[in-house]
Amino acid sequence: MRHSRGRSVTHITVQPSLGTMTRKIPYRRRMRGVAEKGTFLLTKAENIMYLAGTDAASMLIVPRDGDPVIIAPRLESDRAREESWIRDVRCFQEGEVPLRRGERCVRESGLSVAKDVLRDLQVEEVFFDALDHRAYSFLRSFHPRASDLVERRRMIKEAEEIRLLERAREVAGDAYLEVSSEMDEEVTELQLAGKVYQAVMSRGARCAFEPIVAFDENTAFPHHVPTKRQLGSSSVVMMDLGARVQGYCSDITRTTLLFPGPAEESLEAVRTSIAEVVDRLEQGMPLSKVDSMVRDALGREAAHFLHGLGHGLGLAVHELPAVTPNSKERLRNGMVFTIEPGLYYRGRYGVRWEEDVVFSKGRARIMGGAVI
């Protein structure tokens, strides 16, 4: 179907295979907003998903005028046609191979297909989100220019996206409660991570990333990789997990103290800093200030806070906006991001608490309820 910038918005239903929820997303409206700026060649999976409703494509061409084109490898082309609202799906597979009856598939690379489409569209300049040096050189005749337009559009969430993020947060929270109730002295970090996968998937979602599970001194590593270490007499347990629902991701971290100890005061400081700062967030506030507010709340212990305060959530676990000391963004309605202060004491323990926050109608709200 030819898209027209003058046509009323049509809502397309995402296929159920992308998640347990089937809802309407205004893909054509998004596509028109991008096309108004020029012709785009997109290769990032999240950007393609945002506009086309599928992650099965290798590339998506959004022309200034005319129909969008999906370019997909042969093994993914059927799924791309099934999931996406876009009807023009170009299948490619390099080499001479037999095809199914009636099947159309170009026997060349995806980049060659993209070049042919751009040539047919008589494109003189194309914007791109990510191209390696070889691809950039191959498409040099179209004067490719880098653009983060789609990522910046994704930064401000629509109501439907927020609903999906809320659902992903609900799944992650329920999964954590289930897994944390199944700890015994013999369970290992790896086994507990496996239980996270099972708990998330049993709720009709997928894990948004490989869960982090750490015991005692391993919790001092912010991105610890789970091992065969048993819980034993450990006193500190950290779990970082997230769920993906219809493409949209949640990300939470919980630190549990199995009996009182030196980590108790640190955990209280981290949790309190979140509650205090969320109540003070205002429209237009620099996100770098949000980061500094938490560090100020942690006082002298902030020297043990080793990473930025948070990151955007959406079709990617880490996307715009960044909530870091050097962030250039300001707080705007529709932003969804994490706040995850942590204190890490090498060789002893670490504590981190992470909440997913949505800023809407001039105020911040923690998904799933208050932290304390």
Q: What is the pLDDT of residues 183-204, one digit of tens each?
A: 999 999 999 999 999 999 999 9
Both tokens of 232, joined, read 């034993």
- Residues 330, 335: Cα–Cα separation, whole Å: 10
Read off the pLDDT of residues 26-72 as tens digits, 9 standing for 90 and up.
999 999 999 999 999 999 999 999 999 999 999 999 999 999 999 99
Both tokens of 213, joined, read 């599970």
Q: Which residues contact 238 (CB under 8 A, 6 or more apart)?
A: 212, 213, 214, 219, 224, 253, 254, 255, 256, 350, 351, 352
The percent of residues in the chain predicted with pLDDT above 90, rounded, is 85
- Residues 348, 136: Cα–Cα separation, whole Å: 48
The answer to whether 216 and 236 have CB atoms below 8 angstroms apart is: yes
- Residues 226, 243: Cα–Cα separation, whole Å: 18
- Residues 59, 254: Cα–Cα separation, whole Å: 37
Mapping DSSP to helix (H, G, I), strand (E, B) and coil, where does residue 332 land?
coil
- Residues 306, 298: Cα–Cα separation, whole Å: 13
> Which pLDDT value is given to residue 294?
97
The answer to whether 92 and 113 have CB atoms below 8 angstroms apart is: yes
The answer to whether 305 and 330 have CB atoms below 8 angstroms apart is: no
What are the Cα distances from residue 231, in Å, to 175, 218, 328, 359, 366?
Answer: 19, 11, 42, 38, 30
Both tokens of 118, joined, read 């751009």
Both tokens of 189, joined, read 């970090």
Mapping DSSP to helix (H, G, I), strand (E, B) and coil, where does residue 137 land?
helix
Q: Which residues contact 32 (CB under 8 A, 6 or more apart)?
A: 3, 5
DSSP H or E run through 334 = none
- Residues 237, 182: Cα–Cα separation, whole Å: 13
Mapping DSSP to helix (H, G, I), strand (E, B) and coil, where does residue 46 land?
helix
Read off the pLDDT of residues 309-348 as tens digits, 9 standing for 90 and up.
999 999 999 999 999 999 999 999 999 999 999 999 999 9
pLDDT band at 371 (very low <50, low <70, confident <90, very high): low
Amino acid letter, residue 363: R
Mean pLDDT of the chain: 92
